[in-house]
Amino acid sequence: MAYLGNAQNTIEVLKKYGFTFQKKFGQNFLIDEHVLDRIVEEAGVTKDSLVLEIGPGIGTLTQYLCEAAREVVAVEIDKHLIPILEDTLSEYDNVTVINEDILKVDIAALAREKNAGKPIKVVANLPYYITTPIIMGLFESGVPLESITVMVQKEVADRMQEGPGSKDYGALSLAVQYYSKPEIVARVPMNCFMPRPNVDSAVIRLKKYEKPPVQVNDEKTMWRIIRAVFNQRRKTMVNSVSGAADLSFSKEKIAAVLDEMGEIPTVRGESFDLAKFAEFTNRITR
């Protein structure tokens, strides 16, 4: 069995198929066995687990997941990789490869069909350009999730667990923290990949909450408020929220709510944590 965590084996497979890396798909393949073992371990994969892998590439991490999990469903967008995956995963009978864009896959149906509707584990080595839409799509779709363990660009991982007061704190931090408990479980230098990216990466585990840590009466409005604040983070809360095209709160009303909360009228929204955004939303929409 040629494990692809070994750089030489990866090179041989790529040569065999004359594979060229697609920049548009952000393809960088892991070539470090320790990191691969660590991802499987931190994702908590066991013989009871159904794992959804996003972007298996040539099957490097997939091989490790197949050995640890009951079943793996791997969704790969690049059709050129499908024949390679059929080869590199040929020894496993507990894997299904789907050639599709993950944003178009009915994951809830997949969980019903393969996991009796129970929560699934998501594991992925995500390209930078699509990290946020994939993670937010998974959370917002309401599909049954236990956890998402992903390799992402280091600065994106940092952003997911940041709090107020940091320049990296933003809408992504709040969204991730509303749905899950984020924890960076490994730092991964650029030399662990082929081709070598220009930045370091990190593995972050997002353990899904059964219930969000704050209660908000109108979720949609809260996210609109949060987006308005971080689209214009240098502005005061009064100006950013009153100026948002998809909200209709007057400056007077916003200022009155801030006053009720004991906040100064010139406060910037970027200083609010999740609990304060929830409180502000509940007060302004009541």
Position 128 in a domain: yes
CA atoms within 13 A on the CB side of 194: 18
190 and 241 fall within a common domain? no
Position 43 in a domain: yes
CATH number of the CATH domain containing 167: 3.40.50.150
Strands 50-54 and 120-125: parallel
Into how many domains does the chain fold?
Answer: 2
One digit per residue, the tens of pLDDT, for the chain of length 286 reads 678 888 898 889 888 988 776 666 667 788 899 999 999 999 999 999 999 999 999 999 999 999 999 999 999 998 989 999 999 999 999 999 999 999 999 999 999 999 999 999 999 988 777 888 899 889 988 899 999 999 999 999 999 999 998 888 999 999 999 999 999 999 999 999 888 888 899 999 999 999 999 999 999 999 999 999 999 989 999 999 999 999 999 999 999 999 999 999 999 999 999 999 999 999 999 9
Position 214 in a domain: no
Tell me which of 208, 233, 261 is where a domain ends: 208
36 and 156 fall within a common domain? yes
Instruction: Please say whether the beta carbons of 233 and 250 come within 8 A.
Output: no
71 and 192 fall within a common domain? yes
Position 213 in a domain: no
What's the whole-model pTM score?
Answer: 0.89
143 and 12 fall within a common domain? yes
110 and 79 fall within a common domain? yes
Position 1 in a domain: no
* Residue 33, phi-psi category: left (phi > 0), alpha (psi -120 to 50), beta (remainder): alpha
198 and 250 fall within a common domain? no
Range of the domain at 273: 219-284
139 and 247 fall within a common domain? no
CATH number of the CATH domain containing 242: 1.10.8.100
Tell me which of 141, 176, 208 is where a domain ends: 208
